[in-house]
Amino acid sequence: MRGTKVIQALAALAGLGICGSAHALEWYFREPGSKLAADVDWLHQLVMWLIIAIFVVVFGAMFYACYAHRKSKGHKAEQFHENTAVELVWTVVPAIILVAIAWPATKVVIAQKDTSSPDLTIKVTGYQWKWGYDYVKGEGEGISFLSTLATPRAQIEGHEPKGEHYLLEVDNNLVVPVGKKIRVITTAADVVHSWWVPSFGAKQDAIPGFLRDLWFRPEKTGIFRSQCVELCGKEHGFMPIVVEVMSQENYAEWVGKKTKEMSAAVEDANRQWSEQELVARGEKAYAQHCQVCHQPTGQGVPNSFPPLVGSKVVEGPKDAQIHLVLNGRKGGYRPNTEMPAQNALSDVEIAAAITFTRHSFAKPKDNIVQPAEVKAARK
Amino acid sequence: MSSVVDTHDHGHAGHDHGHHGPYGGIMRWITTTNHKDIGTLYLWFSFIMFSVGGTMALVIRAELFTPGLQIVNPDFFNQMTTMHGLIMVFGAIMPVFVGFANWQIPMMIGAPDMAFARLNNWSFWLLPFAATLLVLSFFMPGGAPGVGWTMYAPLTVQMGIGMDLTIFAIHLLGMSSILGSINIITTILNLRAPGMTLMRMPLFVWTWLITAYLLVAAMPVLAGAVTMTLTDRHFGTTFFNAAGGGDPVLYQHIFWFFGHPEVYIIALPGFGVISQVIPAFSRKPLFGYASMVYATSAIAILSFIVWAHHMYTVGMPVTGQLFFMYATILIAVPTGVKVFNWVTTMWKGSLTFETPMLFACGFLFMFTLGGFTGLVLALVPIDIQLHDTYYVVAHFHYVMVAGALFAAFAGVYFWIPKWTGRMYNETLGQIHFWLTMIFFNMIFFVQHFLGMAGMPRRIPDYPLMFETWNKISTIGAFGMGLAQVLFFYIVLDTIRNGKPAPQLPWEGADSLEWTHLPTPVPYHTFETQPVIK
């Protein structure tokens, strides 16, 4: 691919000249991280070369005519206007070329659809606006966590310089072992999202109420980054997907660590928390899950997201607030958009976040919510 | 808006000399049943909508100039992408070709007017109300819907009242299109001059006949889809909600059953314009007239069985994916026939390159490029990589802008001498073409790279590695916007100061409006039908 290198270099020069940007120019598929992605890349190159060949022939003819058959050069128009043989040829030949493309494409489609006998099955749930990962079957079964954007708001709003992985970093990476067939089952809790890892050639819409699946077999370790690719509302651009491929040993270690964390979390949910603990934990949870809409100040956004400061719900009885956070509230006629149900969050997170809001944005009497109360409120 | 129409009014004063002339002033335009007046209304309406939708595109591009959120919040960004799409598709591109149809079809087939003159007036006057509803939605609590022009469920259920206004606007737009199409079909089938057999009709008329059938078949489907959305929102139905036994993907199937024919509704009249322009400036008859008619019909029929290629990533069974992939690549055959015919028409002609021909060549070159990326996207495995990325954005703008819009520009420059009796400024016209051509490619060619590198569409902010291409794209967008200000000036300048056009400004043009009617064309034409030998 020397030609590609040359084009890349030229494009880089042009880009640098215009913008003085320090970033390498990305202009082609990312380097394949699985056989499937490599097959797609190969198929794309096949089609591109065919297209370029046809393009050169057809527009070579057009530009030649534009040059040689001009009136200003004294060219007299001939008056032919049909030729059955020629017309037959240019109907049949393209049809044959298309069959030549369809054949290899079909093979890749069939391979892409074969999600049978996976080593590890993970359920991916799209939420507004984060991803939930549940390890359903295989090594690590039972692990479950949410994955939200880790880029600080200050970077997005331009108060801080942007980091290397701006918008492509999360708090909890999806971790998978190298060389294993991974089956991903997608679904969503609210609206349609779409889960995509370009390096694996894997993309599947996550549809609320339905299960769909895809598979990939990562061939090398490393971190692979991507984003949600189906418009899912306001924060659609801010729910990245980060997959970390680990060696088998590291993966086993990670599973052990994660399982311990999960059981610690269960204990956490059952114990009584102190006020300071809850507020401190709640500040984190609020920043992670609530402030994209309700804003760090709790003032909301007029006509879109209601303020928590002075809100009747935050001032009022805590049971009602627990209920609203767990189950969400419909939009519709009201000016405010729908509040999505937050029942994917843990009891600790919900209890802490509610406690935090009842300390920071209002001062009702019963301002402490224990995880046990949230647990009881779940149906 | 009124100032624009007034301006045009002066231009028309010169040929209001028909018997039983029209009302004066604004009432002329409100009450008119004259196909030429209504054509003019459609053209100005679509230009206004083109400006509004273009301004929204500039807001989008300005926000994307650099990473981070600078100008608009993500909510408003989504409203911009949604309204840009809806306004450009339903407000700009569709009406501009109905404008052409109104002006040209009666003159090209030797008819005195459209078959249903009053219905024609109503078809147009539905549009300003629909446009008003769309714009009003911005001022509703919660703003305009931020759901994308495809309006996928169930995101639509979360939106505020602006969504309802949009749904009603789409109902009105659909009604307007259906009524307009019925009128066009009836006119073409019943009002042709003696001797104007179907296979003698100019290709522009043919493409519109086929387009009108597509509209009649496809628009009610869209109306159904948005009505189901409306009842899901307010009346407790669950067509698209799994919790009540519905399916969000059902919406996508219904939408794209409309949406794919819609692509050809937009493209086919443009094919028609190009098929008039290329032979005229090649001074040579269109090559393969009959095969053009058959190819257009084949494209129209195939367009109804390929809709799910917009949905390869929803998770169809493998047989479904294969069926839609094969059907889609099959469309490349008739489309190829058309491109080959156009190029062969130019071959061994006697070519000149006035502005209409420049836009026709630009169309041919870049529409074909858009067709090729369409072939790439038709292949399931590649589409799964590229779906919902900027590659798709680049692809459909090559088809919609370099295809339909360039054809519309070619048509305006081609026929404006006939409509106004005046010539446009050729130098300025050519500058307009080159600016549009260069800036268009600057905007959209680089978006292919963005898509392949993995930038999703409809995001207000992006990772740092996409910065350079986005900067180039944004600079191109502002250049292209400025070029259209030049276009506006050229049209005004033609109407006010243009040199009188000769009877036959284009040596090779040979359809009835050039050969049988004076320039400028009188208010009423073909009161006695010509006999075509």
Give residue-wise pLDDT tens across range A214-262.
999 999 999 999 999 999 999 999 999 999 999 999 999 999 999 998 8
Whether B309 is catalytic is: yes
Instruction: Report the 10 Å Cβ neighbour count for B185.
Output: 19
Contacts of A126 (CB under 8 A, 6+ apart): A132, A186, A187, A188, A189, A190, A191, A192, A193, A194, A195, A206, A228, A232, A239
Chain A CB contacts of B287 below 8 Å:
80-82
Put simply, whether B231 touches A (Cβ < 8 Å) is no
Residue with tokens 């090729």: B372
| Active-site hit among B15, B253, B283, B457 | B457
DSSP 3-state percent helix, strand, coil across chain A (nearest 5): 45, 20, 35
Whether B260 is catalytic is: yes
Q: Among A142, A222, A212, which Cα is nearest to A176's?
A: A222
Number of helical H runs and strand E runs in chain B: 19, 0
Is residue B20's pLDDT more than 60? no
Amino acid A139: pLDDT: 93
Put simply, whether A32 touches B (Cβ < 8 Å) is no
Is residue A266 packed enough to be buried (19+ CB in 10 Å), middle (13-18) or exposed (0-12)? exposed
Structural tokens at position A182: 């991974």
| Active-site hit among B260, B397, B422, B448 | B260
Chain B CB contacts of A79 below 8 Å:
284-285
Amino acid B9: pLDDT: 41
Put simply, whether A162 touches B (Cβ < 8 Å) is yes
% of chain A exceeding 90 in pLDDT: 57
B386 close to B377: Cβ distance less than 8 angstroms: yes
Is the CB of A209 less than 8 angstroms away from the CB of B247? yes
pLDDT, chain B, mean: 93
Distance from CA of A281 to the nearest CA of B (A): 28
Is the CB of B452 less than 8 angstroms away from the CB of A28? yes
- Residue of chain B with shortest Cα separation from A165: B463
Is the CB of B160 less than 8 angstroms away from the CB of A75? no
- Residue of chain A with shortest Cα separation from B450: A27
Chain A CB contacts of B70 below 8 Å:
158
- Residue of chain A with shortest Cα separation from B321: A109
Structural tokens at position B168: 């009603």
Residue with tokens 């005195």: B112
Whether B448 is catalytic is: no
Amino acid A311: pLDDT: 83
Backbone angles phi, psi at A177, to 5 degrees: -85, 150
Amino acid A304: pLDDT: 72
Selected residues 61-90 of chain A with any CB under 8 Å from a CB in chain B: 61-62, 65-66, 69-72, 75-82, 86-87, 90
Nearest by CB to B285, which of A79, A202, A235? A79
Q: Report the run of H or E that residue A215 belongs to, with start and end.
A: strand A212-216
Give residue-wise pLDDT tens across range B178-219.
999 999 999 999 999 999 999 999 999 999 999 999 999 999
Selected residues 385-404 of chain B with any CB under 8 Å from a CB in chain A: 385, 387-389
More confident residue, A153 or B260: B260
The confidence band for B13, taking pLDDT boundaries of 50, 70 and 90, is very low
C-alpha–C-alpha distance, residues B517 and A129, integer Å = 63
Quick one: how far is CA B468 from the chain centroid?
30
Backbone angles phi, psi at A325, to 5 degrees: -65, -40
Q: A347-356, B38-47, B165-174: which range is least confident on average?
A: A347-356
Give residue-wise pLDDT tens across range A7-55.
555 555 454 444 444 456 788 888 899 999 999 999 999 999 999 999 9
Put simply, whether B333 touches A (Cβ < 8 Å) is yes
C-alpha–C-alpha distance, residues B514 and A192, integer Å = 53
Q: How many CA atoms lie within 13 A of A286 on its CB side?
A: 23
Amino acid A3: pLDDT: 47
A130-137 vs A193-197, strand pairing mode: unpaired
Structural tokens at position B128: 């300003």
Give residue-wise pLDDT tens across range A249-302.
999 999 999 999 888 888 777 888 888 888 888 888 898 888 888 888 888 877
A205 close to B313: Cβ distance less than 8 angstroms: yes
C-alpha–C-alpha distance, residues B427 and B439, integer Å = 18
Amino acid B532: pLDDT: 87
C-alpha–C-alpha distance, residues B144 and B160, integer Å = 8
C-alpha–C-alpha distance, residues B347 and B356, integer Å = 18
% of chain B exceeding 90 in pLDDT: 90
Put simply, whether B253 touches A (Cβ < 8 Å) is no
Question: What is the dihedral sign for C-alpha B12, B13, B15, B18?
Answer: positive
| Active-site hit among B338, B387, B395, B448 | B338
Which of A89, A109, A128, A153 is most worth mutating to test chain B (most B CB atoms within 10 A of its CB)? A109
Nearest by CB to A44, which of B161, B349, B376? B376
Amino acid A266: pLDDT: 80
Put simply, whether B375 touches A (Cβ < 8 Å) is yes
C-alpha–C-alpha distance, residues A265 and A145, integer Å = 11
Put simply, whether A323 touches B (Cβ < 8 Å) is no
Amino acid B3: pLDDT: 35
Whether B284 is catalytic is: no
Amino acid B1: pLDDT: 33
Is the CB of B158 less than 8 angstroms away from the CB of A79? no
Is the CB of B288 less than 8 angstroms away from the CB of A332? no
SS3 state of residue A243? strand
SS (H, E, C) B62-128: HHCCCCCCCCCCHHHHHHHHHHHHHHHHHHHHHHHHHHHHHHHHHHHHCCCCCCCHHHHHHHHHHHH
Whether B3 is catalytic is: no
Put simply, whether B318 touches A (Cβ < 8 Å) is yes
Is residue B89's pLDDT more than 90? yes
Q: A307-316, B122-131, B253-262: which range is least confident on average?
A: A307-316
Nearest by CB to A101, which of B241, B285, B329? B329
More confident residue, A377 or B203: B203
Amino acid B475: pLDDT: 97
C-alpha–C-alpha distance, residues A157 and A137, integer Å = 40
Is the CB of B346 less than 8 angstroms away from the CB of A69? yes
Which of A41, A203, A215, A327 is most worth mutating to test chain B (most B CB atoms within 10 A of its CB)? A203
Is residue B466's pLDDT more than 60? yes
The confidence band for A120, taking pLDDT boundaries of 50, 70 and 90, is very high
- Residue of chain A with shortest Cα separation from B317: A113
Nearest by CB to A208, which of B242, B340, B454? B242
Put simply, whether B199 touches A (Cβ < 8 Å) is no
Q: At what angle do helices B203-234 and B94-109 cross, to 10 degrees?
A: 140
Q: Among A280, A270, A218, A229, which Cα is nearest to B384's?
A: A229
Sheet holding A240-246, edge to edge: A174-177, A240-246, A222-227
Taking the whole predicted model, whether its pTM rises above 0.80 is answered as yes
Give residue-wise pLDDT tens across range B118-151.
999 999 999 999 999 999 999 988 889 999 999 9
Contacts of B432 (CB under 8 A, 6+ apart): B355, B409, B483, B486, B487, B490
